[in-house]
Amino acid sequence: MKILLNNTLSKKKEEFRPIKKGQVGLYTCGPTVYSYPHLGNLRAYIVWDVLKRFLDSEGLKVKHIMNLTDVGHLTSDADSGEDKLEKAAKKEGKNAWEIADFFIQVFKDNLKELNILPPSKFVRATKTIKEQIKFVQILEKKGFLYQTSDGLYFDTSKISDYGKLANIQNIDLQEGARVEKNKEKKNITDFAVWKFSPLDFQRDMEWNSPWGKGFPGWHLECSVMSQMYLGDTFDIHTGGVDHLPIHHPNEMAQSEAATGKLQAHYWMHNEFLKFKDGKMSKSAGTTFDLTDLEKKNISPLAFRYFVLQAHYRKSLNFSWEALEAAQTGLVNIVRDITGRKLGKKVNQKYLEKFQKSLSDDLNTPQALAVLQELLADDQIEDGEKMATIYKMDEILGLDLKNLVKKSLTFSNEEKNLLKQRQVARVNKDWNLSDQLRDQLKEIGIEVEDTKDGQKATRVNL
Ligand SMILES: [Zn+2]
C-alpha cells in the first residue's frame, strides 16, 4: 500500500520510500531521565509506536533506536544552567547515576503500561562517550567548532541552511530558552558539543577529553547513536514539536557537518498535549504523569485511546473530563466485544479501509472510526468481526484481548458478592439483590440480568 507521511523537512506529505527495500531505520528522541515522564512526553511515544506497528504490518522490517539522555541536558536548552540529572540528584540527596537508573526503569515501566513496544535498542548517552568524543574530533578537524571559556561550540554560521527544518529564521530567537545570552557565542544559534566541568564543584558525571574534563552537549548523542546503529543516512527521524526550534536543527547540523550527507529522509513531529490551551510543561507546573491517572482510576490504555482519537499533528487539549470520556469509550468497546466468539477469517473490506486511514499520514481518528463502524455493522458475523478487530488492534495497541480477559476475571471477594446476589435473586429478595448490584458497581463490576442469569463485566480497566 502507498504510505503517505508528512515530512517536516520538505513541509509536505510524501510517499514513503525506504532506503533499503523492505527495511526501515527509525530513530526516536528519547527522554531525559531525571523525573517522571509527563503525559505530554508520553503522547509522542504512543504516536511513534503506532507508526512502527503500522510499518511493520505493511511488511517492513523496522529497526528502531531510542536514546536515553542521562547526561548533558541543561535546565536551559541554550547550554546554560545546571545539568537536569545533577540538579535532581542534589535535590534527592542521591548521585546522578542513581537518578538515571531509577528514571530509566520508570520510563520503561511507563511504556509497558501504555502497551508501547520497546525499541530494537535503547542507548544511554553515557554509554557512548568515547564515540561522542570521536565525533567532536571530526567536527573540530573539519573546522566547525570554536572554544569558549565553558566549552566547545558549533558555529552554525558555517552551515548555509541551518534551521531548514523549522524555518528557524522565522522563529523568534529571543524567545524562551534562548533568552539567556552567552556573550562568548559567535551566533545566537551556536550550541555546545562539549562542556567543561565547572571548577567550583565536582560533577557526578564527567570524562576526560582532548579538550579537558567535561561532558557532551545534549544534541550530540542523537547524532552519534543514529549513525552508530542506523548509518549516516536513515529513513525516519521522529520527535515532538518541542524539538523543532533547537534540538533537531542542532542534531541535524552536526550530522550533516560530520558526514556531508542528509541525516534522515523523513522528519516527523507530533504536536503538543495542551493543558487549558497552554503547553503541558514541568516548569509551568501543569504536568501530570501516569501516577496521577492511577489516582483517578484511569487506565494508561484509556490515555492511549485518548491520544489516538486525535491526529498526531494536531494539538490535543487535556482535561480530566475528556480523559474520563475516553475511558468510557474504551470500556464500551471492551463490553461490546466481551463474550463474542473469535473466528479466523478477517473482513478485508474493513481492514483495508482501516489501513488506508493509517497510510494517509497516520490518521488514527479515522482508523478508530472504521473500528467503530465495524462494531456497529450487524451484517458481519461475530467470529469475523472479532478477528478483524484484533487484527486492527495489533496496530492500535489498545491491548483489547487482555482487556477482555481482565473484564471477565474476578477476585474471590468479587465472586463471593456475585454469588450472594445470585442467591438473593433465587430467593426473590429484590432489595438485597439491588443493594449488591450497587455494591458491585462501586468496585467496578456491572451486572446485567439476562434470561441465562446474571452477566458480570468489569468496567474499571
Ligand atoms: Zn534527539
Distance, CA 460 to ligand 1 centroid (Å)? Answer: 37
- Residue 222 CA to ligand 1 centre (angstroms): 5
Residues lying with their CB under 5 A of ligand 1, a single-atom ion = 29, 222
Q: How far is the CA of 53 from the centre of ligand 1 (A)?
A: 21
pLDDT value of position 5 = 98
The answer to whether the Cα torsion of 199, 202, 207, 208 is positive or negative is positive
Name the phi and psi angles at 22, rounded to 5: 80, 0
How far apart CA 110 and CA 460 sit, in angstroms, is 19
Q: Work out the average pLDDT over 180-195.
A: 87
Length of the chain: 461
Average pLDDT over every residue of 128-143: 97
How far, in Å, is the centroid of ligand 1 from the Cα of 72?
A: 12
Beta carbons of 315 and 353 less than 8 angstroms apart: no
How many whole angstroms from 70 Cα to the centroid of ligand 1? 12
Query: What is the CA(363)–ligand 1 centre distance, in A?
Result: 25
pLDDT tens, residue by residue, 270-326: 999 998 767 776 666 778 999 999 999 899 999 999 999 999 999 999 999 999 999
pLDDT in tens, 221-235: 999 999 999 999 999
pLDDT digits 0-9 by tens, 142-185: 999 999 999 999 999 999 888 888 765 545 454 444 445 678 99
Residue 238: pLDDT band (50, 70, 90) is: very high
CA of 163 to the centre of ligand 1 (A): 15
CB-based burial label for 139 (10 Å; 0-12, 13-18, 19+)? buried
How close is the Cα of 327 to the center of ligand 1, in Å?
A: 32
Confidence (pTM): 0.92
What amino acid occupies position 95? Answer: N
Distance 147 CA to ligand 1 centre (A): 23
> Checking DSSP bridges between strand 214-216 and strand 191-196, what pairing results, if any?
antiparallel
Nearest to 84 by CA among 34, 41, 125: 34
Report CA(401)–ligand 1 centroid distance (Å): 34
